[in-house]
Amino acid sequence: MEKWILSVVGEDSPGITEHLANILKQNSANWLDANLRRIGDRYAGIIELSLPKENVTSLKQDLTTLTGLAIELQQVKPKAASQHQFLVEIVGNDRPGIVAAVTQVINSQRANIDQLDSDLDVANHTGLPLFRLNVLLTADNEQQLDLIEQGLFALGDDLMVEYQRIVE
């Protein structure tokens, strides 16, 4: 079994996820992990799956039957896991540039973003837009994590930064 990533974007309609699941099942693909959602009138998703090598061509052909969707299938190569992970949650009043500032701090230390999730909410007490960013990152050593932590706290008083080092 080989690991693959399937990405899907297109106009949303009922049944897309079921159709994808059935095509994967018919090709003996094992659905491992996914993030699927509607954004406005669009359906967007990424699915991690394992697939027998002999079924790749058949799966690609079957996916072409899903009209109105941009679909891409890419093989995933294994990568050694880092020993140093850091989970960061940043919350603050919404404004342009928060993600750019956070990712600049992370990249300045040559750390890698393993997962990034964001959400726009409304603050209960003020009714103002509240931006929430969760980042899972890996670094080569503890010193990189220390410098990232310092850089994130220096972003400003209007952002609340919470972090957790993940020990394996």
Q: How many CA atoms lie within 13 A of 71 on its CB side?
A: 20
Domain tally, the chain: 2
Residues 90 and 156 in one domain: yes
What's the Cα-to-Cα distance from 32 to each of 46, 57, 64, 117, rounded to whole Å?
11, 20, 22, 19
Q: What is the pLDDT of residues 60-100, one digit of tens each?
A: 999 999 999 999 999 999 877 667 888 999 998 899 999 99
Residues 130 and 97 in one domain: yes
The pTM is what?
Answer: 0.81
State the residue range of the domain holding 92.
Answer: 84-166
Report the CATH number at residue 162.
Answer: 3.30.70.260
Q: What is the pLDDT of residues 23-63, one digit of tens each?
A: 999 999 999 999 999 999 999 999 999 999 999 999 999 99
| Domain termination residue (choose one: 32, 53, 75) | 75
Residue that the structure tokens 């693959």 belong to: 4
Q: How many CA atoms lie within 13 A of 16 on its CB side?
A: 21
